[in-house]
Each structure stands twice: as structure tokens, then as C-alpha cells.
Amino acid sequence: MIKSTILTHFSPSPTIYSTDGTEPSHQLTRGDYSCRRGYELWLIEQARARNPDIALYFLAWTAPGWINNGTMYGPDTIEYMLNWLRCVDERGGKGGDRTLGLWNEAAQPDQDYLVSLRNALDANGFSSTKISIMDNAYFNEQEVAWAQANSTYRDAIGVAGLHDPCSYAYQPFPIARELGWDLWSSEDFSRDVTSWDAQSYWGKALSQLVQCSSINI
């Protein structure tokens, strides 16, 4: 079964360079909070105005330095992400298919943090927002082992996001299905988008994804 989703990817802005430039954060300091900064919340507003059914995917590249005194995962991160989702709601992105990632191509949290994040989402009106793990160029065997041993951890996760999954020496799709997770190609690659060569290459990449197995593209 092939599942496809019209999906737009956004990064909670950290006021730090994150691939596509630097944007001011929605929460520059612990006591600061504004949903009118940067372009991504505006873009969410515009996307949902044009297509109310578009899926939204939020993935941080990093976070402001005040978060947990410089540590990525902790209570401050959870509140920071909750405030991001509140801003998304305020700017027209409320409800629908939404997924919250953790940290792009970086260390993933322990089980306690992820379960705490899931509980916080549920308690604050975001129970339908899924959590995505991994978002890296490998299928994290530690997280798989945790999920196989801990059903609370496993059930807190909705998505495993892999980068270029069809380039793997083995296929992780059966494992993800066994755990009840969607498996996404959360990052893939192409070439210079201004050339026809790039378009044909992108078409080839999409075809490979379909052949790999059940995957959101």
C-alpha cells in the first residue's frame, strides 16, 4: 500500500542559522512570546488558507540558548514546542494532519523525554499531533529496541523519518510497520532545481520511493 500526503515542512525558528537562513524565534527568552515573527508562521497561514487539508510537519534544527541552559532536551524544550504549536493554531494552522519532529540530524532523546512530550501534547489540546523520531540518515536501532521493549514509548511515536531511505543496504519498512509507525522519507535529494536534469532525477527518486514499500511521500 502506497500512502501519499501533501505535506509542508516547517522549522520552529531558533534565531540561529538553520539551512534556509536565520529567523527570529517565537520565544527569544523564557519570558518572551510572539507569534508574529519570521516567515514560517505566515507561510503556514497562507498554506492552510489555500488548502485546509494540507499536512504540516514541524522539525527543529536547534533551539535558543536559554532552553534547559543549553541542553536540547528537557522541560524547557517541551514548553517551547507547545508554544510553537499555540502559535501555529493562532496563525491558522489548527487541527488537521500535524506532526512534530524532535531535532534534525542530531542526537535523539531518551525514552522519558519522549513520553513526557507525548503526555504534554495530550494534556494541552494537541493529542492529534503526531511525534516523529529519527530524522536522520540511518534507522536508529536503539530507538527500535526501546520500542520493542516499551509499549508506552512505542505508542507515543507516530512516525519514523528517514533521510534518503532507499539508499539503505537493508529495508527498514517492515520494522516500522511491525511497530505501527508510518515511515517517511523526511528528506530526500535532487539537483539544481532550475534544470530539466534535476526534474528527471527527482522523478527517478520518487519512483524509487514507491518501489521501496509503503511510505509517505
Catalytic residues: 105, 187
Residue recorded with cell 532536551? 73
Q: Are 139 and 168 in contact (CB under 8 A)?
A: yes
Q: Could you write out the DSSP letters of every residue in 80-91?
A: HHHHHHHHHIII
**Cα of 84 vs its chain's centroid, Å:** 13
Alpha helices, DSSP H, located in the chain: 40-50, 75-88, 111-123, 141-149, 151-156, 173-179, 196-212
Distance CA 52, CA 98 (A): 12
